[in-house]
Amino acid sequence: MKPERSKTGEGELRGLLERRGLRVTSQRLAVLRGLSGAKGPVSHGELADELVGTGMDRATVYRNLMALAEAKLVQRTLISDGVFRFELVREEGRAHEQHPHLVCTECGQVRCLPRHSVSVRPGLGDVVDVQLRGRCLACLQG
């Protein structure tokens, strides 16, 4: 099952790259387009599979993901399955707010949850990552 999409416009993606001082290349735009439509973080492999028709190989996708993460346009998150997932930082000019993720135990999709959907009790220390495992709505309804 593919993640739901919510695309960001091409001009907006070009502007993101330009404001970070990065060259606007077709590969970077393709990676950003792929991430902009995802409702949750996607793995390098998932994104590379999606971009296979653009002529980019897996190494090119990975290099672009790393460059975009270094420029803070993309957030890299290690999910409990040991695979890094990437998501577009949607609020430019602000640090990417940490938010919980739901890892579906049935379909494997990772979905972002609203920041305040999980509360952590005081006294637990500096909690920076919360991941819930369970069945997503699509799997529950399907």
Nearest to 129 by CA among 89, 90, 65, 76: 76
The number of angstroms, rounded, from the C-alpha of 4 to the middle of its chain's C-alpha atoms is 12
pLDDT digits (tens, 9 = 90+) for 25-71: 999 999 999 999 887 789 999 999 999 888 899 999 999 999 999 99
- 102 residue type, one letter: L
CATH of domain 10-141: 1.10.10.10
For 87, the enclosing helix (H) or strand (E) is strand 84-88
Give me the pLDDT at residue 17, please.
94
Band of residue 97 on the pLDDT scale cut at 50, 70, 90: low
pTM of the prediction? 0.69
Band of residue 119 on the pLDDT scale cut at 50, 70, 90: confident
